[in-house]
Amino acid sequence: MSVQPTSMIWGPRFGATHSDSYTSDLQHTLGKVMAIASHRRWLLVIPLLTGMIAYLAYGLTLPRRYVLSTTFERRDDVVLTRLISNSSPYTFDTLRRSLRFQLTGTQVVGQAIDDLGLTRSMPRDAQGALTAEGSARRQALIVEISASLNMRLVESSTFLDLIELSYSGSNPDVGMQVVNRLRDNYVASTRSWITDILQKSKAFFAEEAEKRQVQANKIDLELQDLSAAYPGINPNDTSPLNQHLASLKLAIDDLVLRREEYQAKLGALQKYARDLEQQRATGKTPSSRPALTDSEAGQAWLPNPTRERLSQHIDTTKAQIAEAKSVRNMTDMHPEVQGLRRKLEQLRIEFENQPERIAAPPSGNANGQAEPLVDPLAAEQKRTAAEIQSVTDVIARMDRDLARRQAEKTTLEDGKTKMLDKREFYLSRQQEAQAIRNDMRVWQNNVDTLGRVLTAEENERGIKFATVESPHRPRVPTSPTFAGLVLTGLGVGLGLGVAVVFLRELFDRSFRDPARVRQSLGIPVLETIAEIRSEIRRQWLGWRTVAPAFAAVEAVLAVALGTLTYLSLQYPDLYQRIVNRAVVAGYWSGATGLGA
């Protein structure tokens, strides 16, 4: 019967009972593992160092990643932002929504690398345009740089944006140039965009103000037509319809009174003329006028000019009283009206005291002799007829004036009736015009405000841009780190060594313990024999000598690679100088060997 022994690790513990605790089993297992690690130490150390060397060598070729960033702010004017957001179809919110594309978009990155001359060495045709290969390389560069850029809003409010633009790539010099260029291009494009928004908003406000100006002018023309068609419809008119009507009524009443006076006078004169006719027929003297004396028989009579002047003054004073009461809204108790009435009474008294006719001065003939006497009755009839004609003419003029004023009064009363119906419409249109003018002034104020802001924006004093933190070239890369490379190399090497020891132990079927022999074969062990050294064992002694030496060489190589890795990460300039010198030395040694 053939019995294959099990592994030393996975085999059961000999002599153990079910009463042994799990803790004892764990301690036994750990002791076995440590014994195996000690026994197979070179199988553990050599793969561990090999894995470290391989990973450190790989770490030298890993691309270094540098991180740099710039922070800047855009501060909007509070009043301006509210003005445009509340009153204009344009808004600053579009700047925030498109911020990422304006900073890290493909188009703006391409513009930035073109401005920096990063595409200058790419293949071009005779006209200077990029060839297909050059376009592909340019697009690849754009994609690479775009993938290395990141934008975030550190702080954002209605009037302030604090923006951070960062670069994470293998070329910090290019990263600094690109970040600065993207920031400057964003500031320039945003200023242009803001100026465009301000100009469009100003044009919009000016157009709205012009619309309201046109509307107000149209309503003003309509109100003027209404005022012309319906006098007094405007409550603010200095000569309203009611005052005009009151003035007309006073004038008509005065004309009626004066006509009655003249009509009474005409009646008296006509009666006197009939008496004269009767006297001529009967030869009697009229009772209304005394008979002429001998000295008066040949006297000529003329109208009294003083009486006529007083009559004109009376008419003027009556007109002044009517104007004061109608136009100037004075009452009868007003001192000026009372003064005019006292003046009117005084003029009337003087008028009554003046005779109607005065004697004409005597006139002689050419020889200095007096004119022959005429018939006094005929002369009196002639004067009476002339006076009757004069009074009749005055009454006719009064009738015409009275008819004209009555017609004007009728027209004004008809207009007043229509005016009351139209006044409400007139007032509503007047208020509408005032509201439109107020609205127009608001829009015009907005135009003036934007004009001042545009002037400030042209001098870069409008929307504020400020760099809070400029990008700085990092001295050391952010990743990979030296500690990370060393720990990862240790992990890789340890895993490799454990795997080798595990496989070696798994396939090892030799017996090293009498108890295992007894347990595997089921027979007792009578005696053990010490190790018998043979030629094979001497070869094993040679392995024991070579393994430490190989491990020492690997350890030195691992330290050297670790030093180079540390220098490449912490002092990249020094590492680059060392590599350059090594390359130059290798080139010259190779050239010398070739020459020999």
Domain residue ranges of the chain, discontinuous segments joined by +: 25-60+480-586, 66-211+450-469, 241-362+372-446
Can you tell me the distance from the alpha carbon of 21 to that of 5, in angstroms, rounded to the nearest whole number?
A: 25
Q: Angle 376-458/241-282 helices, nearest 10 degrees?
A: 170
27, 532 Cβ separation under 8 angstroms: no
319 or 360, higher pLDDT: 319
- Reply yes or no on whether the pLDDT at 260 is more than 50: yes
Q: What is the pLDDT of residue 357?
A: 64
Q: What is the pLDDT of residue 278?
A: 82
Give 468-480 pLDDT, tens digit per residue.
888 888 888 888 8
562 or 529, higher pLDDT: 562
- pLDDT grade for 5, boundaries at 50, 70 and 90: very low
- Reply yes or no on whether the pLDDT at 152 is more than 50: yes
Range with the lowest mean pLDDT among 386-390, 536-540, 587-591? 536-540
Q: Which residues contact 400 (CB under 8 A, 6 or more apart)?
A: none
Most confident listed range (14-23, 183-192, 558-567):
558-567
- Reply yes or no on whether the pLDDT at 116 is more than 70: yes
The structure tokens listed for 366 are 């050419």
- Reply yes or no on whether the pLDDT at 228 is more than 50: yes
Can you tell me the distance from the alpha carbon of 198 to that of 203, in angstroms, rounded to the nearest whole number?
A: 9
Question: What is the average per-residue pLDDT within 579-583?
Answer: 79
Give 154-186 pLDDT, tens digit per residue.
887 777 888 899 998 888 888 889 999 988 888
Using DSSP's 3-state secondary structure scheme, residue 291 falls into coil
Q: What is the pLDDT of residue 16?
A: 46
Using DSSP's 3-state secondary structure scheme, residue 72 falls into strand
Question: What is the average per-residue pLDDT within 406-413?
Answer: 79
Question: What is the average per-residue pLDDT within 548-566?
Answer: 89
CA 156, 162, 164 angle in degrees (round to 5)? 120
Cα-Cα end-to-end distance for the chain: 70
Question: Which pTM was predicted?
Answer: 0.52
Residue position matching structure tokens 């990155």: 109
Give 351-377 pLDDT, tens digit per residue.
777 666 665 555 544 454 544 445 677
- Reply yes or no on whether the pLDDT at 457 is more than 70: no
- Reply yes or no on whether the pLDDT at 287 is more than 70: no
- Reply yes or no on whether the pLDDT at 530 is more than 70: no
Output b/e per residue, 182-220; b: 16+ Cβ within 10 A.
bbebbbeebbebbbebbeebbebbbebbeebeebbeebe
Q: What are phi and psi of 75, to 5 degrees?
A: -115, 115
Q: What is the pLDDT of residue 368?
A: 47
Q: Which residues contact 209 (CB under 8 A, 6 or more apart)?
A: 440, 443, 444, 447
- Reply yes or no on whether the pLDDT at 36 is more than 60: yes
Average pLDDT, the chain: 76
Q: What is the pLDDT of residue 534?
A: 56
Share of the chain above pLDDT 70, in %: 74
Q: What is the pLDDT of residue 551?
A: 86
- pLDDT grade for 556, boundaries at 50, 70 and 90: very high
Range with the lowest mean pLDDT among 342-346, 415-419, 484-488, 590-594? 590-594
- Reply yes or no on whether the pLDDT at 541 is more than 80: no
Q: Which residues contact 380 (CB under 8 A, 6 or more apart)?
A: 276, 289, 292
Give 135-146 pLDDT, tens digit per residue.
999 999 999 888
Question: What is the average per-residue pLDDT within 323-352?
Answer: 77
Give 411-445 pLDDT, tens digit per residue.
777 766 666 667 778 888 888 888 998 988 888 88
- pLDDT grade for 253, boundaries at 50, 70 and 90: confident
- DSSP secondary structure letter of residue 495: H
Q: What is the pLDDT of residue 374?
A: 52
Q: What is the pLDDT of residue 460?
A: 58
423 or 238, higher pLDDT: 423
296, 376 Cβ separation under 8 angstroms: yes
Q: What is the pLDDT of residue 360?
A: 55
Share of the chain above pLDDT 90, in %: 2
> Beta 301-303 vs 357-359: how paired, if at all?
antiparallel
